[in-house]
């Protein structure tokens, strides 16, 4: 069976760079007239030639979003249940070398935190851990998911890469979605960014969403951390990955996250900062290329930016966010969290903002058909 790692070899860095460089304004406008886009068309929309045509991209993206999603915007919140990590990712606040308070919640503590979130009205929750298999084992994550599932319409995970059998374990415990950030699709850069720890294995992480689909996970989420590699390279590879998975697994829901790197504990010099215009270009190009895929914008972005991206294609937002472990129902060690958030709106504030924009906040859009 072909993997995305193998398919991506058809689009080496040089081919992507050349395709973006030769794009013209006329080619951009021609792409926007097409009903169905190819990967080469997507690259054209990400090219420098598309920058003068952002308004045209925005109109096209807005129309497609209205056609396939109406005015519904799903709201979720993350729950960090452990920040103990064995990796030394150069850009991450959980880097094992960072000297900061760490915490790992017991199953009971994690459930108490989740139930406090449910009491606030959330129906979609995302469980996050660092990469420390001996402590945050697949069995531990599944045990938390199984216990909290009766209180939530949807339980998702954003954890280290799992095997197909381990994703099947998650699905059996009631997990219906997974999010996997490849961080960057540049294999050489990836190796430098992840020098120590199990995350160093580029291919195992890259093929994790495929294993999740094979293991029975219903919803797959992808993303690159914008700012690590040049915009066109990682933006294109992320969209291509989602497109490939949609074609390989048509029964699975796809979503793409659009995070820009944020300040965090430790130091990291951003080499390829993504400005607001490029972020808008990315969202609109994604919507044109993947009209049925969800697009997630987290609280890394400001309230202003998130409110303006919703009409352009964003269909999923977070609220009431904390990137630290604990603090809702159990003790807070005042650890700095994985990164600094920008939008601190609560669930009620986020819902009010969406209503003012003319959108419908959605807390529940899925019910697991199997009792767990």
Assess whether pLDDT exceeds 90 at residue 120.
yes
| CA 138 to each of CA 147, 148, 170: distance values in angstroms, whole numbers, following the listed order | 14, 16, 8
| Domain range 39-362, its CATH number among 3.40.50.300, 3.40.50.1260, 3.90.420.10, 3.20.20.70 | 3.20.20.70
Vertex 284, ends 278 and 285: CA angle to 5°? 85
Mean pLDDT of the chain: 93
Q: Is the dihedral of CA 253, 178, 297, 370 positive or negative?
A: positive
How far is the C-alpha of 257 from the C-alpha of 225, rounded, in Å?
9
pLDDT at 72 over 90: yes
Identify the bridge partners of residue 77 per DSSP, sorted by sequence position: 125
Residue 187 in contact with residue 168, Cβ under 8 Å?
no
pLDDT tens by residue, 219-278: 999 999 999 999 999 999 999 999 999 999 999 999 999 999 865 445 667 788 899 999
> Would you state the pLDDT for residue 92?
82
pLDDT at 368: 59
Other C-beta atoms closer than 10 Å to the C-beta of 265 total: 17
| Average confidence (pLDDT) over 107-135 | 96
Q: Return the percentage of the chain with pLDDT > 70, whole number.
A: 94
Kindly report the pTM of this predicted structure: 0.94
Question: What is the residue extent of each domain of the chain?
Answer: 39-362
DSSP secondary structure string for all residues of 150-214: GG-SEEEEE-S---HHHHHHHHHTTEEEEEEEEE-S-HHHHHHH--SSGGG-HHHHHTHHHHHHH
For the chain, the straight-line distance linking the first and the last C-alpha, in angstroms and rounded, comes to: 32
User: Residue 323: which pLDDT band, with cuts at 50, 70 and 90?
Assistant: confident
Residue length of the chain: 372
By mean pLDDT, which of 67-71, 165-169, 271-275, 289-293 is the weakest?
271-275
Output the pLDDT for position 284. 98
Q: What is the pLDDT of residue 49?
A: 98
Query: For residue 138, what are the contacts with CB-CB under 8 A and spacing of at least 6?
Result: 162, 166, 169, 170
Q: What is the mean pLDDT of residues 39-68?
A: 98
Place of tokens 């939008």: 343
More confident residue, 47 or 372: 47
């Amino acid at each position: 069976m072909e993997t995305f790692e193998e398919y991506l070899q058809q689009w080496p860095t040089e081919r992507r760079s050349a395709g973006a460089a030769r794009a013209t304004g006329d080619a951009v406008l021609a792409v926007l007239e097409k009903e169905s886009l190819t990967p080469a068309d997507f690259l054209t929309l990400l090219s420098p030639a598309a920058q003068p045509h952002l308004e045209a991209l925005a109109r096209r993206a807005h129309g497609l979003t209205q056609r396939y999603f109406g005015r519904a915007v799903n709201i979720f919140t993350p729950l960090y249940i452990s920040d103990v990590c064995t990796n030394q990712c150069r850009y991450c606040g959980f880097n094992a070398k960072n000297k900061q308070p760490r915490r790992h919640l017991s199953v009971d503590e994690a459930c108490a935190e989740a139930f406090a979130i449910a009491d606030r009205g959330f129906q979609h929750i995302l469980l996050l851990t660092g990469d420390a298999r001996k402590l945050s084992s697949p069995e531990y994550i599944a045990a938390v998911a199984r216990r909290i599932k009766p209180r939530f319409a949807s339980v998702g995970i954003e954890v280290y890469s799992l095997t197909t059998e381990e994703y099947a374990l998650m699905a059996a415990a009631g997990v219906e979605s997974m999010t996997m950030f490849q961080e960057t699709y540049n294999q050489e850069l990836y190796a430098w960014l992840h020098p120590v720890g199990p995350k160093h294995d580029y291919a195992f992480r890259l093929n994790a969403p495929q294993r999740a689909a094979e293991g029975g996970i219903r919803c797959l989420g992808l993303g690159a951390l914008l700012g690590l590699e040049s915009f066109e390279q990682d933006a294109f590879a992320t969209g291509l990955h989602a497109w490939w998975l949609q074609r390989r697994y048509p029964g699975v829901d796809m979503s793409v996250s659009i995070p820009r790197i944020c300040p965090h504990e430790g130091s990291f010099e951003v080499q390829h900062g993504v400005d607001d215009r490029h972020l808008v270009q990315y969202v609109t190009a994604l919507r044109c290329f993947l009209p049925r895929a969800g697009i997630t914008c987290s609280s890394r972005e400001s309230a202003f930016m998130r409110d303006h991206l919703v009409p352009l294609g964003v269909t999923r937002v977070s609220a009431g966010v904390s990137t630290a472990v604990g603090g809702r129902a159990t003790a807070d060690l005042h650890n700095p969290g994985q990164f600094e958030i920008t939008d601190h709106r609560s669930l009620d504030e986020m819902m009010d903002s969406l209503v003012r924009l003319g959108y419908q906040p959605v807390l529940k859009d899925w019910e697991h058909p199997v009792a767990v």
